[in-house]
Amino acid sequence: MGRTQVICTASWVEGVDQWRKGSGKGWVTAEYGMLPASTSSRKPRPIAKPDGRGVEIQRIIGRVLRSVVCFKKLQERTIYLDCDVLQADGGTRTAAINGAYVALVLAVKKKMSLGLCPRGVITGAVAGVSVGIVDGKVLLDLDYSEDSGAQVDMNLAMTSKGEFVELQGTAEQKPFAPAELEKMLAVGRTGIRKLIQAQRRAISQHSLHP
């Protein structure tokens, strides 16, 4: 993801929102933000006016991460996944998904090691990657300059078994054909595999008791 840097944290909070109370089930919610100096021209903080792009992205991150959590086992707790972009160079939303997954797993493992959470809360592995068509060629993991000139911009979230969790593609300059879609999905799949390995390394190398 080029020089993109995103801090991803998981905060474990006892209890759930009003609409979920009494269900016996937990919830996972994501928030996405960008520091003002993370972009090349300063981006004002979203105080007066909410940031539509950020809202769209955090909804996607939340959906993807919820797909690998068993809410019944989590019980009535909320896990907040905060993804804050320190430096943006393309791929911030997929970087956020990948980092949030690692943060989520580490948080659950830590609670398990303290006997505060049963087995089976995390039901699988998921990673996200961008694919695009630039100058007619399918590229994996676009950085900012590639992204800006892409004809098609696609974001994939997939499991370790190559199945889709979320799939979102936009024709930036002209519509794309089914054959192009297929090429992008194939390229994306190889990226996902590497990312899931990288997540596993990050998780296993992390010491839970600092």
Site residues for its own copies per CB under 8 A: 7, 9, 11, 13, 31, 33, 35-37, 42, 45-50, 52-53, 55-56, 58-59, 63, 67, 80, 82, 84, 86, 124, 154, 158-159, 161-171, 175-178, 181, 185
The DSSP symbol for 37 reads G
Nearer to its own copies, 136 or 178 (CB): 178
Nearer to its own copies, 132 or 169 (CB): 169
Nearer to its own copies, 122 or 185 (CB): 185
The answer for residues whose C-beta is within 8 angstroms of residue 197's C-beta and 6 or more apart is: none
- CB of residue 174 to its own copies, shortest distance in Å: 8
- CB of residue 178 to its own copies, shortest distance in Å: 7
Nearest alpha-carbon partner for 118 in 74, 174, 60? 74
- CB of residue 167 to its own copies, shortest distance in Å: 4
Give the C-alpha separation, 181 to 11, whole Å. 37
Give the C-alpha separation, 65 to 101, whole Å. 7
Nearer to its own copies, 171 or 203 (CB): 171
- CB of residue 75 to its own copies, shortest distance in Å: 18
Written as one letter, the residue type at 174 is K
Question: Is the Cβ–Cβ distance between 88 and 4 less than 8 Å?
Answer: yes
- CB of residue 166 to its own copies, shortest distance in Å: 5
Give the C-alpha separation, 30 to 65, whole Å. 8
Nearer to its own copies, 53 or 194 (CB): 53
Label residue 181 exposed, middle or buried (CB < 10 Å: 0-12, 13-18, 19+).
middle
3-state secondary structure of 167: strand
Give the C-alpha separation, 89 to 157, whole Å. 19
Nearer to its own copies, 140 or 181 (CB): 181
- CB of residue 1 to its own copies, shortest distance in Å: 18
